[in-house]
């Protein structure tokens, strides 16, 4: 059976080479006669995997020495609560930039804890979709500023991060490792694995050590960044298989020329697809052009019926999961790092045929 061109927003496509490697090692990892998922998270085989996953991430992102790479659980959504619980001291406040569904959830989780947070801007309801510009008034003394780098649902991406005095914290779940990044601009970066990194089950957190130190001792240990930092994320049983997959995916990225190489591939794929949208009056991009995401390409057809027909006919041709998120409708083509250029070409070809038959 042929592999589908899988446009799913997440859990999402993984590199075929990586899946084959995982398959080859599934029954016998490193001559142990066991799968990586069947062995101790404290043994030497898993330890080497854990270390390589961290080392590869450090290499790809040039992570400075005063940052820690943590592997946590509960998805990016759990971070929405853990961030204020760990980083907001007594009587402190934080700034939030809201640009879509995910950053809306982040501020909502913070408010739920009963803390006063400042929403500096909110473009979540804007159509066409966009992220706020950088004309923001930060709150003096704020403990941190929270932003989402890529709104997965609307398809709008932050192109230039705001300069802040307070530590900038970014939810990069849907564009982590898709472009080079200056980690020193951030106090913390986090991402659920299932879009651009690995299967679901692990959450990557890259945090400046002095911030991790702020975790209050009154928090349960497994909610504390400090505890994860001090125990190298191994205080309890870690999701070993997802971390192993991060190791393989980051190895694959290093082989592809690191983040510069990957960004080039991503930009080529996205540019082609957006050009096809712009070349036609039948398709309409959902995001403001200057904020268009190279990861989640969102667009509309003239009617919802045509959109449903488009999704159905594309699926029959092996192009799956093109339906936009239920909250916004339309079409969403998620073309993460692992999505092949040939799949983008196939979609463009289909878009032309569909328009010719239905315009
Ligand atoms: C998918 C996604 C999340 C939620 O991730 P979970 O791991 O399901 O909690 C949060 N933020 C962004 C930007 C996402 O794309």
Q: What is the pLDDT of residues 166-176, one digit of tens each?
A: 999 999 999 99
- Is residue 1 pLDDT above 80, yes or no? no
User: pLDDT digits over 46-86, tens only?
Assistant: 999 999 999 999 999 999 999 999 999 999 999 999 999 99
287: left (phi over 0), alpha (psi -120 to 50) or beta: beta
Which atom of ligand 1 sits closest to the CA of residue 75?
Answer: 7
| 190 C-alpha to ligand 1 centroid (Å) | 10
Residue 301 located in a structural domain: yes
Cβ partners under 8 Å of residue 27, min gap 6 = 35
Residue 334 Cα, ligand 1 centroid: separation in angstroms?
A: 14
Last residue in a domain, options 233, 255, 277: 255
Task: Assess whether 171 carries a catalytic annotation.
Answer: yes
Ligand 1 centre to CA of 355 (Å) is 33
What would the pLDDT profile of 266-276 be if each residue is shown by its tens digit? 999 999 999 99
Which CATH number belongs to the domain containing residue 62 in this structure? 3.40.640.10
Answer yes or no: do 142 and 227 share one domain. Answer: yes
pLDDT of residue 40: 98
Q: Which of 240, 255, 270 is the last residue of a domain?
A: 255
Check whether 42 is labelled as a binding-site residue: yes
Domain that holds residue 320: 259-358
Q: Is the predicted pLDDT of residue 314 greater than 70, yes or no?
A: yes
Distance 279 CA to ligand 1 centre (A): 32
If asked whether residues 154 and 303 sit together in one domain, one would say no
Q: Determine which residue's CA is closest to atom 13 belonging to ligand 1.
A: 173
Nearest CA to ligand 1 atom 5: 76
Per-residue pLDDT band at 116 (split at 50, 70, 90): confident
Q: Identify the residue whose tokens are 């712009």.
A: 278
- Cα separation values, 102 from 151, 152, 210, 349, Å: 6, 8, 26, 32
Are 230 and 270 members of one domain? no
252 annotated binding-site participant: no
User: Is 9 part of any domain?
Assistant: no
Based on the number of CB atoms within 10 Å of its own CB, is 41 exposed (0-12), middle (13-18) or buried (19 or more)? middle
The mean pLDDT value of the chain amounts to 97
Per the structure, the count of domains in the chain is 2
Catalytic residue among 95, 171, 175, 323: 171
For residues 207 and 268, state if they share a domain.
Answer: no
Atom in ligand 1 nearest the alpha carbon of residue 76: 9
What is the share, in percent, of the chain residues with pLDDT greater than 70?
Answer: 100
Last residue of a domain, one of 197, 223, 255: 255
Alpha-carbon distance of 300 to 141, in angstroms, equals 42
pLDDT at 134: 82
Please indicate, yes or no, if residue 1 is contained in any of the structural domains: no
Q: Are 187 and 39 in a shared domain?
A: yes
> What residues are in contact with ligand 1 under a 6 Å CB criterion?
10, 75-77, 102, 148, 152, 171, 173-174, 192, 195
Nearest of 113, 76, 77 to residue 94 by alpha carbon: 113
Ligand-binding site membership of 77 (annotated): yes
In a shared domain, residues 299 and 316: yes
Question: Is 76 within any annotated ligand binding site?
Answer: yes
* Residue 195: active-site member: yes
248 and 130, same structural domain?
yes
Q: Does 4 map to a domain?
A: no
Residues 172 and 25 in one domain: yes
Q: Whose CA is nearest to atom 12 of ligand 1?
A: 173
Q: Assess whether 348 and 239 both reside in one domain.
A: no
Q: Is 252 a catalytic residue?
A: no
Please indicate, yes or no, if residue 5 is contained in any of the structural domains: no
CA 198 to ligand 1 center in whole angstroms: 13
| Annotated catalytic residue within 54, 195, 226, 269 | 195
- In this structure, the answer to whether residues 316 and 201 fall within a common structural domain is no
């Amino acid at each position: 059976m042929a592999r589908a061109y899988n446009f799913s927003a997440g859990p999402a496509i993984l590199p075929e080479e990586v899946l084959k490697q995982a398959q080859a090692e599934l029954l016998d990892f490193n001559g142990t006669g066991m799968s990586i998922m069947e062995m101790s998270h404290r043994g030497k085989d898993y330890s080497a995997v854990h270390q390589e996953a961290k080392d590869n991430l450090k290499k790809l992102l040039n992570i400075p020495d005063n940052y820690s790479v943590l592997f946590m659980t509960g998805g990016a959504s759990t971070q929405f609560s853990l961030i204020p619980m760990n980083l907001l001291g007594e009587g402190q406040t934080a700034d939030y930039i809201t640009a879509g569904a995910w950053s809306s959830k982040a501020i909502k989780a913070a408010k739920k804890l009963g803390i006063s947070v400042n929403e500096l801007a909110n473009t979540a309801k804007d159509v066409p979709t966009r992220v706020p510009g950088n004309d923001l008034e930060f709150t003096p003394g704020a403990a941190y500023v929270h932003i989402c780098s890529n709104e997965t649902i609307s398809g709008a991406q932050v192109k230039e991060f705001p300069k802040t005095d307070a530590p900038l914290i970014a939810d990069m779940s849907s564009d982590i490792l898709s472009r080079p990044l200056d980690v020193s601009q951030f106090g913390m970066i986090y991402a659920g694995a299932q879009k651009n990194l690995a299967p679901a089950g692990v959450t990557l957190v890259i945090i400046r050590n002095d911030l991790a130190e702020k975790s209050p001792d009154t928090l349960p240990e497994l909610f504390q960044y400090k505890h994860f930092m001090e125990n190298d994320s191994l205080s309890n049983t870690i999701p070993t298989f997802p971390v192993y997959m991060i190791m393989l995916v980051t190895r694959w990225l290093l082989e592809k020329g690191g983040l510069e190489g990957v960004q080039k591939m991503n930009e080529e794929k996205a540019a082609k697809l957006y050009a096809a949208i712009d070349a036609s009056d039948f398709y309409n991009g959902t995001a403001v052009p200057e904020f268009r995401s190279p990861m989640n390409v969102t667009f509309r057809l003239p009617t919802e019926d045509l959109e449903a027909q488009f999704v159905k006919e594309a699926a029959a041709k092996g192009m799956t999961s093109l339906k936009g998120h239920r909250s916004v409708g339309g079409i969403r083509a998620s073309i993460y790092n692992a999505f092949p250029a040939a799949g983008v070409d196939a979609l463009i070809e289909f878009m032309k045929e569909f328009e010719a038959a239905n315009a």
